């Protein structure tokens, strides 16, 4: 059986694309194993999918002064040794790395074992972990066209970002029912990222009476950010977080407001949802969301409003303009060839993978989860 090791973690953004690939890998007969960190979010998300999980030690490469800068290099070395030994035992045909610092020792361990590695970079400019892993990779999948220039010739492939197939199966009728909305009035979906956005929440609530004259508003505001004083507003539904309900709420949405994380951008693209992006400012990030938003705006997929220039009036006017011009954005997104990223990434994986050869572990099945000590 063909065997692939997936890796990546630390944040949900480094795990979700791996989850999006799972159904296609399984349909193609791949045995999937995951190598992640001991304490990262990836463990819970992966084990929910009944995938074998192995933890290794990892450290973070910080650009600021911290006492952990002196201890984490030892954890990285330990993780490298663990990864090398584990991959030597598992002998997969290929490793697919989604990034995050746990992926660095796994990538190097694969290279030392002469196992091909495929990297995937979600953001427009490669993050530090992927830059460290680049020399050890056989192929690198890029999400944005502009990313290609940052990657080595002969390794780079433009694929887009894979999305979870369940997002395509949402029911508009079910979404309206979850929100207690009617089909007669358009729906505005507001998302501030996985933790919510204080800025977006405040602005939307400030112009809510005006918005409700034209829209019904579904607002994913983040854990602890639900405003109980607004729960009685007809046509306004707040959610702290959405899990299984998200595909239905997205199906019900006519237009969206969002941050500019790569994963959600490509979900909006695949669903062809007209959207207004409010990227995280440089004061709160390395600026990757700004670049992501500029790329989508340049391809006529998105409207963009920068946090530093927002006022209540400007936001209200931009939302109205987005709805009035929504068909132009739907047309541009419909013409994109980046919506089916999972199929293209699977092609890169299968053309990069080593042939199946007999090995000491061939025919064996790893335990469902291995919980080693740190």
pLDDT band at 364 (very low <50, low <70, confident <90, very high): very low
Question: Is 350 a residue whose pLDDT tops 80?
Answer: yes
- Mean pLDDT, range 334-354, rounded to an integer: 90
- Does residue 259 carry a pLDDT above 80? yes
The pLDDT of residue 369 is above 70: no
Q: Which among 201, 237, 247, 239 has a CA at the least distance from the CA of 216? A: 237
pTM summary value: 0.80
Residue 374 binned pLDDT confidence (cut-offs 50, 70, 90) = very low
Neighbours of 55 (CB within 10 A): 25
- Residue 73 pLDDT > 80: no
Lowest mean pLDDT among 137-151, 186-200, 249-263, 292-306: 186-200
pLDDT at 358 over 80: no
> What is the pLDDT averaged over residues 25-51?
92
Q: What share of the chain is helix, strand, coil (3-state, %, to 5)?
A: 45, 15, 40
d(CA 117, CA 176): 43
Mean pLDDT of the chain: 89
- For residue 196, name the pLDDT band (cuts at 50, 70, 90): low
Domains defined for the chain, CATH in brackets = 2-161+339-352 (3.40.50.2000), 166-334 (3.40.50.2000)
Write down the pLDDT at residue 363.
Answer: 44
Proportion of the chain above pLDDT 90, given as a percent: 67
Query: Is a pLDDT exceeding 50 seen at residue 169?
Result: yes
Predicted pLDDT of residue 193? 65
Bridge partners of residue 31, in order along the sequence: 3
Which backbone phi and psi does 3 adopt, to 5 degrees?
Answer: -125, 135
Q: Exposure string (b/e) for 86-115, b if CB count within 10 Å is 16 or more?
A: bbbebbbbbbbbbbbbbbbbbbbbbbebeb
Q: List all residues 6 or more positions away from 168 whose beta carbon is below 8 Å from its beta carbon.
A: 247, 270, 271
């Amino acid at each position: 059986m063909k065997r692939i090791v997936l890796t990546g973690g630390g944040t949900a953004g480094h795990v979700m694309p791996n989850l999006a690939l799972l159904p296609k890998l399984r349909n193609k007969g791949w045995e999937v194993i995951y190598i992640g960190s001991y304490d990262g979010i990836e463990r819970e998300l992966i084990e929910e999918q009944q995938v074998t999980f192995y933890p290794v030690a990892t450290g973070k490469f910080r650009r600021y002064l911290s006492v952990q800068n002196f201890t984490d290099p030892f954890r990285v070395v330990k993780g490298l040794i663990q990864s090398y030994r584990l991959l030597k035992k598992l002998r997969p045909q290929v490793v697919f790395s989604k990034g995050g610092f746990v992926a660095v020792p796994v990538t190097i361990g694969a290279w030392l074992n002469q196992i091909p590695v495929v990297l995937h970079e979600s953001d427009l400019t490669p993050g530090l972990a992927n830059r460290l892993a680049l020399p050890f990779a056989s192929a690198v999948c890029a999400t944005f066209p502009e990313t290609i220039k940052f990657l080595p010739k002969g390794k780079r492939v433009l694929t887009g970002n894979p999305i979870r197939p369940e997002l395509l199966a949402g029911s508009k009728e079910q979404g309206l029912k979850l929100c207690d909305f009617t089909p007669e009035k358009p729906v505005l979906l507001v998302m501030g990222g996985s933790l919510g956005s204080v800025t977006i929440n405040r602005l939307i609530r400030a112009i809510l009476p005006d918005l409700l004259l034209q829209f019904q508003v579904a607002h994913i505001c983040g854990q602890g950010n639900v405003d109980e004083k607004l729960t009685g507003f007809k046509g306004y539904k707040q959610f702290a977080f959405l899990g299984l309900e998200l595909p239905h709420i997205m199906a019900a949405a006519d237009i969206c407001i969002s941050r500019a994380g790569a994963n959600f951008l490509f979900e909006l693209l695949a669903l062809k949802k007209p959207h207004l992006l409010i990227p995280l400012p440089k004061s709160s990030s390395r600026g990757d969301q700004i670049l992501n938003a500029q790329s989508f705006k340049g391809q006529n997929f998105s409207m963009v409003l920068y946090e530093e220039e927002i006022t209540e009036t400007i936001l209200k006017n931009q939302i109205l303009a987005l709805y009035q011009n929504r068909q132009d954005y739907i047309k541009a997104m419909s013409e994109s060839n980046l919506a089916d990223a999972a199929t293209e990434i699977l092609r890169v994986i299968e053309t990069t993978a080593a042939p199946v050869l007999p090995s000491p572990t061939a025919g064996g099945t790893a335990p469902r989860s291995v919980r080693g000590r740190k």
